[in-house]
Structure 1
Amino acid sequence: MKYRAGVRRKSESVTDARKLLVVEDSKTFSKALHKLLSDEIGLPVIACASLNELHEVVTEEPDVYGIAVVDLNLPDAPDGEAIDFTVQRGIPTIVFTGSFDVQTRARIMERDVIDYVLKNNEFALETLVTAVKRALTNRDTRILVVDDMTVARKHLARMLAIQQYSVIEAGSGAEALSLLAANPDVQIVISDYNMPDINGYELTRKIRRMLAPDKVRVIGVSSTNDLAVSAGFLKAGANDFISRPFMPEELQCRIANNADTLLQLRQLQELAARDHLTGLFNRRHFFENGPELMKSVQARPVSAVAILDIDNFKQINDTHGHGVGDQALELVARCLADSVKGTGNLLARLGGEEFAILFPGMDPAAAMRFCDHIRLDISHAAVQVGAERLSVTASIGVAEADAADSFDHCLRAADQALYVAKQQGRNRVCLAAA
C-alpha cells in the first residue's frame, strides 16, 4: 500500500509535492530502490551516485526533498560527507550502509539522522522502504512530552523531532492535562515520573480517565534504577516504559510500535464502523454517533434526519440478479457520498436498500431541498447491465430531529414519511407531519 497520511484508500493519489532523494553509487541498489520507493510510496524519486551530483540536484531544487536515503560511503565522500550535506540543508536523512560495527554506528548516530539500514541482509530494501514510510507517517503523529526538567525535556523533544514527529512540550502535569485538552490530535504522551505537582503515575491515571488506550498511548520514562517505577506506570494505565539514558534505536522502535498499535486500533474501529459493500458508515455507527452529533450543535438545536430507500429494489434483484442489485447499492452510495462530502452530515447504510442521513443544525425544509437534489442525482445515474442502462430511483422521507426527543422516534417519523413517498408513486421526497 502506498504512503498515506492517516487512512487513505489504495486507489487515492498522494497529495504531496515533495520528492524522495536517493544517493547511492551502486547501480543495482539504486535502481531497485528507485522502483520500490516509486511503487510503494508514490512520490517522485531523484537518484544520484556521488556527492558532486547531490550538490547539483539539491542546488537546483533546494526545498523539495522530503526524505533523503544516503549511502554512508561514496567514492567522493568516503567519510559520510554526503550525510552531512543533506542534514545541514534540513533534509531528513536515512543512512544506507554496507558495513557496520561499533565505530560505524558511532559515526552515524553522532549525526542527526532519522535511522540507518544495513545492506547486508536479504530484507534490506524492504526495511529501507519501511523506514521511509515511517518517517513520512511520523509527521502526522503528535507527541506530548512531559517533564519539569527543561534540559531533559528539550533533549527528548529534539530526538523525536529528528524522527519527524510533531512535538509539543509541558513542564508539569497540570500543563500536560491542559495541553491534552486543547490538542485532541495528540496521539502519544511521554511522561517523566518525578514532577513536583503531579507525578507520572497520577498523570497517567488522570489521562486514562479522560482517554482510553485506543485514543492516546502513554509511555512512562525515568532515570531511576528502581524497577518498580516501570511497573507503577504500567499499573496506572501506561502502555510502555523507557529508561533513561535513552538508546536512540530503542526509543525509536518503542515509539514506532506504539504509533503502529494506535493506527491498527483505529483501522479496526474504522472497519467495524463501515459497511463492507458500500464503504459507508453502518447502522451501528449511525445509532452510536447520531444522538451525540445532534447534541453537539449548540447554535441551532433543530436538526433533520432522512431515510432513503431504493425503489423496486427487490424487482432489480429478482430480474437481474444480486450482482446487479449490489451495483445499484454502490451507485446510490456514491451519489450519497458525493452529496454529503464536506458538509458535516452523517451518512450511513442502515441495511438492505435503506440509507440514512443526519443533518445536524439543518432545519427540515432545508434538508428536504438537499434530499431532492440527491434524488435527482440518483435518477440521472444508471447501472450498466450488458447493453442496457438500468435506471435507479429512490424515495426519501425527512423528519425533524430534536435533540430533546429520542433518536429512535425521529427515525420512525422519517420512516413514516418514506412510506408516504412510496405510496404517492416513489421517486420523491416527503416531509413528516409536524
Structure 2
Amino acid sequence: MTNKRLLAVEDSRPVLKLIKHVAKRAGYEVDVAETLAQTKALISSGQQYEIATVDYALPDAPAGEALTFTLESGIPSIVMTGSMSDEVRDKLLSQPIVDYIPKETTQALNYLGKLLVRLQRNKSIKVLLVDDSKSVRTYLSSLLARHNFIILEAENGVEGLSVLEQHSDVKLIISDHQMPHMGGIRFTAEVRRKFSKDEIAIIGLSGSDAGSLSARFIKNGANDFLKKPFCHEEFYCRVIQNIEHLEYVEDIQRAANTDYLTGLFNRRYFFAKIPAYIKKLETTAHPCSVAMLDIDHFKRINDGYGHDVGDKVILDLADKLKAHFNDCVIARFGGEEFCVFMPDFDYQHAANELDAFRIEISESSIQHEDHDIDYTVSIGFVSTIDHLAAMVSRADEGLYQAKEQGRNRLISIE
C-alpha cells in the first residue's frame, strides 16, 4: 500500500473531486482541507505530506495565505488558481512553489496528473550543474530540488568530466559558457565524445549577448540553450522537455530490444550486443557458454488449456530464468524458445547450473483454476568460444538432440 500522501486544499468540491481522482491515479493517498483553518488543523496533527495542491484563494484566505502556510510548514506546494493576473503570477513565482496551474480548462487537471507522476520519476534522475559561480549553482539547485531531481555540481568543465566518470547515469547537464580551465562549449564537445544526445541531454547557459552562442553550443552537441536571466517557467519547461525526450527514446529502444510478453531481450538485441561481449571475454581468456532452451510439448499446453495459459507458462519460465541466471543475458528468441549467454561459465559450471535449472523446472508447476500444470524444458549448450552465430547454432543442435532423445534433457555440443 502506498505511503505517499497529498494534501488537497480546495474549496470547490467539484474541483476537489477531480484532484482526488488524479492524485489517486498517480499513487497518492489524499487528505482534504476546504479552508485555511482545516489546513492548519491537518498539518498540526503531525501528518506528513509529500506534496500539497493549494487553491490560491479560499474563503478565509483570499490572498494566498494558505499557500504561505504550507510552504512555511515545509510542504512542497502546487498552486491551483482561477486568477491569473500578472500581479498574482509574479507573486507566485517569487515564492518557492513547485508549479502553478490555472484552473481555466479540464486540461489543468491533466497537467496536474502528469506533474505528480513526473515528480516521482525525478527522484531517480541525476542532473549535473556545471558553473564556476557558487551562487548560480545554489540558485539552480534550489529550482531543481523543488522537482525532486538528484543534483550533482562541478565548478568547471574539467570537474564536470570527472563527475561524469563517477556518475555515468547522469541524464541532464546544465552548463555555463565561460568557466576557468574548460568552458562550456569545449566541455559539451568532450561529453559528446562518450555520450550521445539520446543518452545525456545538455542545456547550455550564458548571460552573454553574443547571438551566435546558442548556435555554437548546439553545433558542439548541446540539446538546448537558455540565456540568463531566465524565467522559472521557461527553465522548468526546457528541463522537463529534454528529460521527456530521453525517456521517449528509451521507450522506443526498449520496445525495439525487448520481448513484449516477458520483458526479456529479443533476438535482435541479443545478436547486436553479445558479439562484443564475447570478443572481450576472448581477449581476456575468460570462458563463456551459450544455452538454448525450449518448453517441451508446448503445443499441448496451448491446445489443452488455451493460449492465455501458454503465456502464463512462458512468463513462469522467464521469471525462473531471471532468478536463476541473474548474472547472464537472457533472450526470448520467439514462441517457447529462449537463449542464455553465460559469461565466465566454463563447461562444468554451465553444465551444473543448466541441469540444476532443468530439474527445478521439472519439479515445479503453475496453478490455473483447479489444475496444476507441469512442464519441462530441453536444453542444448556450448562452451567452446566462437562467433555468436556459430555458438547459437551448436547450442540449437544440442537442443534438437535433447528433443530427439526424449525431452527434459541437457545436451552439450562442443
TM-score by length of 1: 0.86
Contact 1:383 1:392 in 2 (8 A): no
Structure 2 stretches lacking a partner, 5+ long: none
SS in 1 for 2:270: helix
Native 8 Å contact 1:275 1:349 kept in 2? yes
Structure 2 match to 1:43: 28
Superposed CA deviations along residues 197-246 of structure 1, whole A, max 9, x for unmatched, are 22222111111110011100111111112110001111111111111001
Secondary structure of 1:42's counterpart equals coil
Instruction: Indicate how the Cα distance of structure 1 residues 413 and 326 shifts in structure 2: closer, same or farther if over 3 A, else same.
Output: farther
Equivalent position of 1:109 in the other structure: 93
Give the aligned partner of residue 29 of structure 1. 15
- The answer as to whether partners of 2:347 and 2:382 remain within 8 angstroms in 1 is yes
The amino acid across from 1:19 in the alignment is R
| 1:34-183 correspondence runs (5 A) | 34-38=20-24, 40-62=25-47, 64-183=48-167
Counterpart of 1:347 (choices 330, 333, 336) is: 330
Segments of structure 1 that go 5 or more residues without pairing to the other structure are 1-14
After superposition, where does 1:351-430 map in structure 2 within 5 Å? 351-379=334-362, 380-381=364-365, 391-400=374-383, 402=385, 405-430=386-411
Moved more, 306-315 or 171-180: 306-315
**SS of match in other structure, 1:279:** coil
Percent identity, aligned pairs only, is: 36
* CA RMSD of superposed structures (Å): 2.8
Aligned to 2:211: 227
Match in the other structure for 1:19: 5
Q: Deviations over 1:356-408 (max 9, x none)?
A: 11223344434334333443454443696x99876543201132264xx4233
Aligned residues: 411
Once structures 1 and 2 are overlaid, which stretch shifts more, 75-84 or 374-383? 374-383
Aligned 8 A contact 2:281 2:288 in 1: no
**Contact 2:22-2:112 within 8 A present in 1 as well:** no
Aligned AA (2:50): G
For each residue in 1:42-98, what CA deviation from the matched residue of structure 2 results, as whole angstroms up to 9, or x when unmatched?
Answer: 221121222222223223344x42221111122233332222222233322111111
Per the TM alignment, residue 316 of structure 1 is displaced from its structure 2 partner at its CA by 6.3
What secondary structure, in the 3-state scheme, does the structure 2 residue paired with 1:309 have? Answer: strand
Aligned position for 2:243: 259
Are the aligned partners of 1:336 and 1:374 in contact in 2 as well (CA < 8 Å)?
no
- Answer whether contact 1:313 1:325 (CA < 8 A) is retained: no
Cα distance, 1:334 vs structure 2: 2.7
TM-score with structure 2 length normalisation? 0.90
Q: 2:289 aligns with which of 295, 301, 304?
A: 304
**What per-residue deviation string (whole Å, max 9, x for no partner) do you get for residues 148-189 of structure 1?**
122222222222122222111110101101111210221011
- Matched residues in 2 for 1:373 and 1:53: separation? 62
Q: Quote the Cα distance in structure 1 between the aligned partners of 2:146 and 2:413.
A: 58
Residue 289 of structure 2 aligns with an amino acid whose one-letter code is A
Deviation at 1:293, TM superposition (A): 4.6
- Confirm or deny: 8 A CA contact 1:69 1:93 kept in the other structure: yes
